[in-house]
């Protein structure tokens, strides 16, 4: 069940990767789209910023399995439709719908993982879940891109749609006895209730804590993958780009899991931020840039794995976990959207040292926020 739900996460991440990895090929199919081509990527992020926590509220109200299957089916339909390469406005509209399905999947799947895992496996299962984004991008880069280059992006979209449809059928069958009734029964949600639940969730030091730390992780992760290789000698760039996410995944799986036996997940997140800041100080101490980049992403692997593991540690009920996952999606999309333009602006005005100083500041703020919320939890 855990592996199946993780595969659902791979499908959701594939909704980003199928556009981002073969971006040049898609641009060739829409030569008149200009700067608007970037909207094919950012539309999913915009949906997450606006509706991330709302997705958590709906999933908690109307049922995890039910909405996960719907999200997978909608995602499958979008990919299959996109394989026809419709006109750009229609393709853009389909990405808006796909963004909604993405949100439902990344909220419902980890909530179900925490629900079906035993106490002994829950930390490891959530750490595995944390790798879904990087693993999906690697799969599309290694397998999907060569197929798209030979047979066209239409085949990549069709394969993704078929995988999503198969996952929907498997989830429906495997979880047939799970979640047959809504997690929180009640009347249809109204705007006032949604806004009230947003306020309550973000005021909670239990529900909001993972998302607050996640914001400062996502402000830097994707942006540094894009920016740092350009600061390296040309001959080292390809190797470093390949090793950075691998280092993060490896630490998440191999180090976070055993650490969770001895430390609370939030403490591991704070240690990851602190270690990341220390690694970046190597820039001023003359450490080799390539080694610094790889060590940084290894340290960020602590934050990646432990942030998701902290959700079930801090929240005992499925409803609160769904809200926490929704807040994670919301803050993650906000960080991914803002991180690259903010750091690029700082890089242009303050150079490499100024940019790295801002990154260190982000990590320090992440630590301070977690300390403040820990204090609030201790007093509650």
Query: Domain ranges in the chain?
Result: 1-189, 204-380
Q: What phi-psi label fits residue 372: left (phi over 0), alpha (psi between -120 and 50 degrees) or beta?
A: alpha
The yes or no reply on domain 204-380 and CATH 1.20.1250.20 is yes
Tell me how far apart the 2 most distant CA atoms of the chain are, in Å: 61
- pLDDT score for 369: 96
Say whether 84 sits in a helix, a strand or coil.
coil
137, pLDDT greater than 70: yes
**Out of 117-126, 156-165, 210-219, least confident range:** 117-126
- pLDDT score for 177: 56
Higher pLDDT, 61 or 121: 121
Check residue 288 and report its DSSP letter.
-
What's the distance, CA 371 to chain centroid?
A: 23
Write the CA distances from 233 to 163, 228, 237, 293, 344, integer angstroms.
Answer: 39, 11, 7, 13, 19
- pLDDT score for 187: 53
Tell me the angle at which helices 64-82 and 2-20 cross, rounded to the nearest 10 degrees: 30
- pLDDT score for 188: 64
Higher pLDDT, 155 or 348: 155
Closest among 245, 292, 283, 276 to 360, alpha carbons compared: 276
H-only helix segments in the chain: 2-20, 23-29, 39-62, 64-82, 88-116, 119-129, 132-139, 145-151, 153-174, 191-203, 209-218, 221-227, 234-251, 257-259, 265-285, 289-314, 318-379
Distance CA 368, CA 374 (A): 10
- pLDDT score for 180: 45
Q: Residue 243 — pLDDT band, cuts 50, 70, 90? A: confident
- pLDDT score for 181: 44
pLDDT tens digits, one per residue of 17-57:
898 888 888 888 988 887 678 788 778 888 888 888 888 88
- pLDDT score for 370: 96
Looking at mean pLDDT, say which of 8-17, 43-52, 226-235 comes out highest.
8-17
| Exposure class string for 56-71: b at 16+ Cβ within 10 A, else e | bbbbbbbbbbbbbbbb
58, pLDDT greater than 50: yes
Distance CA 141, CA 161 (A): 17
Find out whether 29 and 88 touch, Cβ atoms under 8 Å. no
**Tokens standing for residue 296:** 């940084």
Distance CA 337, CA 218 (A): 9
> What is the average per-residue pLDDT within 5-10?
96
Write the CA distances from 134 to 16, 139, 141, 174, 241, integer angstroms.
Answer: 11, 9, 11, 26, 12
Find out whether 139 and 10 touch, Cβ atoms under 8 Å. yes
Q: Cα(first)–Cα(last) distance of the chain, in Å?
A: 35
Kindly state the percentage of the chain with pLDDT values over 90: 51
> What is the average per-residue pLDDT within 101-117?
91
DSSP collapsed to 3 states, 297-315: HHHHHHHHHHHHHHHHHHC
**Out of 25-29, 278-282, 356-360, least confident range:** 25-29
pLDDT tens digits, one per residue of 158-211:
999 999 999 999 999 887 655 544 444 555 667 888 888 889 899 999 999 999
CATH architecture of residue range(s) 1-189: Up-down Bundle (1.20)
What average pLDDT does the chain have? 88
Q: Residue 104 — pLDDT band, cuts 50, 70, 90? A: very high
> What is the average per-residue pLDDT within 238-249?
82
């Amino acid at each position: 069940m855990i592996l199946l739900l993780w595969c659902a996460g791979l499908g959701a991440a594939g909704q980003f990767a199928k556009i981002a990895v073969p971006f040049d090929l898609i641009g060739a199919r829409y030569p008149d789209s200009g700067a608007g081509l970037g909207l094919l990527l950012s539309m999913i992020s915009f949906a997450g910023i606006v509706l991330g926590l709302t997705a958590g509220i709906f999933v908690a109200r109307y049922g995890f399995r039910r909405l996960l299957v719907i999200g997978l089916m909608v995602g499958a339909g979008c990919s299959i439709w996109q394989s026809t390469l419709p006109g750009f406005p229609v393709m853009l509209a389909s990405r808006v719908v796909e963004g909604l399905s993405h949100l439902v999947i990344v909220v419902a799947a980890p909530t179900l993982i925490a629900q079906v895992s035993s106490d002994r496996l829950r930390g490891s299962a959530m750490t595995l879940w944390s790798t879904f984004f990087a693993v999906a991008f690697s799969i599309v880069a290694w397998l999907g891109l060569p197929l798209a280059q030979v047979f066209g992006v239409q085949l990549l979209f069709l394969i993704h749609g078929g995988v999503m449809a198969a996952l929907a059928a498997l989830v429906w069958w495997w979880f047939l006895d799970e979640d047959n009734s809504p997690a929180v029964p009640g009347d249809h949600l109204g705007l006032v209730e949604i806004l009230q639940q947003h306020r309550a969730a973000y005021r909670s030091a239990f529900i909001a804590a993972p998302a607050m730390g996640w914001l400062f992780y996502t402000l830097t992760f994707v942006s540094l993958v894009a920016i740092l290789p350009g600061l390296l000698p040309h001959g080292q760039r390809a190797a470093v780009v390949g090793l950075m996410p691998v280092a993060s995944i490896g630490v998440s799986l191999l180090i976070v899991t055993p650490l969770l036996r001895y430390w609370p997940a939030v403490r591991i997140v704070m240690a990851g931020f602190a270690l990341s800041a220390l690694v970046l100080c190597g820039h001023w101490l003359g450490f080799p840039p390539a080694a610094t980049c790889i060590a940084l992403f290894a340290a960020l692997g602590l934050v990646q794995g432990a942030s998701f593991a902290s959700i079930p540690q801090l929240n005992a009920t499925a409803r609160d976990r769904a809200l926490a996952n929704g807040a994670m999606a919301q803050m993650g999309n906000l960080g991914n959207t803002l991180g690259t333009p903010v750091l690029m602006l700082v890089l242009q005005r303050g150079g490499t040292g100024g940019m790295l100083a801002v990154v260190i500041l982000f990590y320090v703020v992440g630590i301070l926020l977690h300390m403040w919320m820990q204090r609030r939890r201790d007093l509650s």
